[in-house]
């Protein structure tokens, strides 16, 4: 049997558009002589559909879209398509299903058994757990079709390994019923270690059972998640024999009579993975929300420089607009650096000094008195950031451009950012990128280009908000290498303060931990951004704001 693997980029909620993606892939697959097309999990509605699933009529519309799609496809082509369904489930419940479409109709539907309910996953809120898993017969083969998490049984990072007696292993159960090959339809979001981790999860299934395994993953950005694709095929010995590209739609084929020679897995560099995820995430967020252009403040610092580079890669430099907004404390080199960067990227830019507006605030009654009592103090520094944020938003509102916030994860973690100032915007490009990765990705961009896209002076100079005389970040923060190590332990590994105090200066650890906890209210108000790590600020990390936490 010739099987087509369709790594597709659906838009959440766009049932006609997603059905068209499947139909186009089906047409190409049939022309290539394929017998079966495999698509990702919940592809008809896009993943994650979230509370759209609770909206009256939405799941019924998904079922209807599947019926219509079956009639439009070539009758000789089998298609495995993921969708939510109310069919074959108790009244009032929903299943995460996969249907086999063939001969103009739905032949059979299977349901997801393991429903993830951790990190960004909330599937037990919506779906019922399947009663069992059963093979699908097609083209003379018994297919062990299962859905995403069903392959993660026993993984130490999930809860299924803790009490496996309460849940069956879906793949073992399928093999016990007699299958010729295993097929996993997934919507598995990107994390920096996820491509290698997936291979480590899937390979033992093929090795243990001696069955080839096909893994088809969604690609594209939806809200704060990026799906990296990287679909793959393992032979019966667990050897990788086919790998679809990362971060792009793709249609490739495998012949069950000739699985092909083993391939050596290629581990992409960390910086390259991050850059691709950031580019795809921003580009898809803009496209799927209906934005063609974006605007951001360009300070001459490394964060806004990297954000501008990613925007130019994502939507094209002609769609990126920068504002250079020097204050009375800005250095000449910051303006010069920002101009060089903008010219290197060929993006549109304007200079708008903020001192006149700043002075107007100082001359205002009551507020002016507060500002004059502490020149360049906290209120005055935040005011300058908010003036800049307001100017960016004026351009955003007038032209319909999305405003980009440029703060990184290190700053957001400890609250070194200004609400309604540098945090203002519709999308926070770097919000899950620690400062060390900001530097690493910036250098990587220059390496890829073979020239200075981001001026070396921007990369090498001490970071500064330039909101007070001779200000640098390290006046307020620990050195970034130390800060990032502590933050990685606190946030991404959930290490205790006590254990971190054994590795790093205790006073610094306690200061960082306190700042992280006290600034949850700021992060709750930040724009959405792209999840890159296992523990990103956003939908997967749920911390209290009004709390008293002792360290």
Annotated catalytic residue: which of 45, 62, 123, 148?
148
Residue 52: count other Cβ atoms within 10 Å of its Cβ. Answer: 17
Q: Rounded to an integer, what distance in angstroms lies between the CA atom of residue 186 and that of residue 94?
A: 18
Residue corresponding to tokens 């580009």? 283
Enter the tokens of residue 210: 């001696």
Is the CB of residue 362 less than 8 Å from the CB of residue 368? yes
Strands (E), 187-283: 213-217, 219-222, 225-228, 232-234, 240-243, 250-255
Catalytic site includes residue 45: no
Q: Which two tokens stand for residue 265?
A: 């897995």
| Residue for token pair 């990788």 | 240
What is the 8-class DSSP label of residue 534? S
- 288 counts as catalytic: no
- The distance from CA 362 to its chain's CA centroid, rounded to whole angstroms, is 42
What's the CA gap between 86 and 516, in Å, rounded? Answer: 43
b/e map of 93-102 (b: 16 or more CB within 10 Å)?
ebbbbbbbbb
Provide DSSP, 90-149: -TT--EEEEEEEETTEEEEEEE------STT--GGGT-PPPS----EEETTEEEEEEEGG
Catalytic position from the list 41, 123, 149, 466: 41
Which H helix or E strand runs over 71? helix 58-72
Active site residue 501: no
* 544 vs 218: CA distance, rounded Å: 32
As a whole number of angstroms, the distance between CA 309 and CA 467 comes to 24
The answer to whether 435 touches 273, Cβ cutoff 8 Å, is no
Considering the candidates 45, 62, 112, 435, report the single residue annotated as catalytic.
Answer: 112
Backbone angles phi, psi at 127, to 5 degrees: -105, 155
d(CA 491, CA 63): 40
Q: List residues with catalytic annotation.
A: 41, 112, 148
């Amino acid at each position: 049997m010739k099987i087509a693997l369709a790594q597709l980029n659906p838009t959440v909620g766009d049932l006609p558009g997603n059905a068209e993606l499947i139909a186009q892939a089906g047409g190409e697959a049939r022309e290539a002589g394929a017998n079966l097309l495999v698509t990702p999990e919940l592809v008809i509605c896009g993943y994650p559909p979230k509370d759209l699933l609770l909206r009256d009529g939405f799941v019924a519309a998904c079922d209807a879209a599947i019926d219509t799609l079956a009639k439009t496809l070539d009758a000789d082509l089998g298609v495995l398509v993921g969708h939510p369904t109310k069919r074959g489930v108790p009244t009032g419940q929903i299943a995460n299903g996969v249907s086999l479409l063939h001969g103009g109709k739905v032949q059979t539907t299977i349901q997801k058994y393991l429903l993830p309910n951790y990190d960004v996953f909330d599937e037990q809120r919506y779906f019922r757990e399947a009663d069992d898993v059963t093979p699908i017969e097609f083209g003379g083969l018994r297919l062990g079709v299962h859905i995403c998490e069903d392959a993660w049984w026993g993984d130490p990072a999930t809860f299924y390994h803790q009490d496996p007696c309460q849940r069956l292993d879906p793949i073992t159960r399928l093999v016990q019923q007699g299958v010729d090959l295993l097929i996993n339809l997934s919507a598995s979001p990107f994390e920096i270690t996820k491509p290698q981790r997936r291979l480590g999860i899937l390979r033992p299934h093929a090795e243990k059972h001696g069955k080839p395994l096909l893994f088809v993953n969604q690609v594209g950005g939806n809200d704060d998640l990026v799906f990296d694709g990287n679909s793959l095929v393992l032979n019966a010995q667990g050897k990788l024999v086919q790998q679809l590209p990362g971060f792009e739609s793709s249609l490739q084929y495998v012949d069950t009579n000739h699985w092909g020679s083993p391939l050596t897995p290629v581990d992409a560099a960390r910086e390259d993975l991050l850059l691709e995820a950031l580019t795809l995430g921003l580009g898809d967020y803009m496209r799927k929300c209906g934005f063609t252009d974006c605007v951001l403040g360009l300070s001459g610092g490394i964060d806004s420089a990297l954000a501008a580079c990613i925007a130019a890669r994502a939507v094209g430099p002609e769609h990126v607009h920068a504002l250079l907004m020097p204050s009375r404390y800005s250095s000449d080199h910051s303006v010069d650096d920002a101009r060089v960067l903008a010219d290197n990227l060929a993006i549109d830019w304007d200079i708008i000094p903020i001192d006149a507006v700043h002075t107007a605030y100082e001359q205002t009654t009551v507020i002016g008195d507060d500002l004059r009592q502490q020149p360049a103090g906290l209120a005055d520094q935040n005011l300058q950031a908010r003036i800049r944020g307001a100017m960016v938003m004026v351009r955003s509102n007038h032209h319909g451009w999305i405003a980009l916030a440029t703060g990184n994860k290190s700053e957001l973690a400890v609250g070194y950012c200004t609400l309604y100032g540098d945090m203002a915007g519709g999308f926070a490009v770097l919000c899950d990128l620690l400062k060390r990765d900001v530097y690493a990705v910036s250098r990587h961009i220059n390496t890829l280009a073979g020239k200075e896209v981001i001026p070396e002076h921007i990369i090498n100079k001490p970071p500064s908000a330039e909101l007070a005389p001779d200000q640098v970040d390290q006046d307020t923060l620990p050195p970034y290498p130390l800060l990032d190590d502590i933050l990685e332990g606190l946030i991404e590994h959930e290490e205790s303060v006590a254990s971190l105090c054994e590795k790093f200066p205790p006073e610094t650890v306690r200061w960082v931990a306190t700042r992280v906890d006290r600034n949850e209210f700021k992060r709750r108000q930040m724009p959405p951004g792209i999840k890159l790590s296992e523990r990103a600020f956003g939908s997967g990390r749920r911390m209290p704001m009004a709390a008293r936490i002792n360290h």
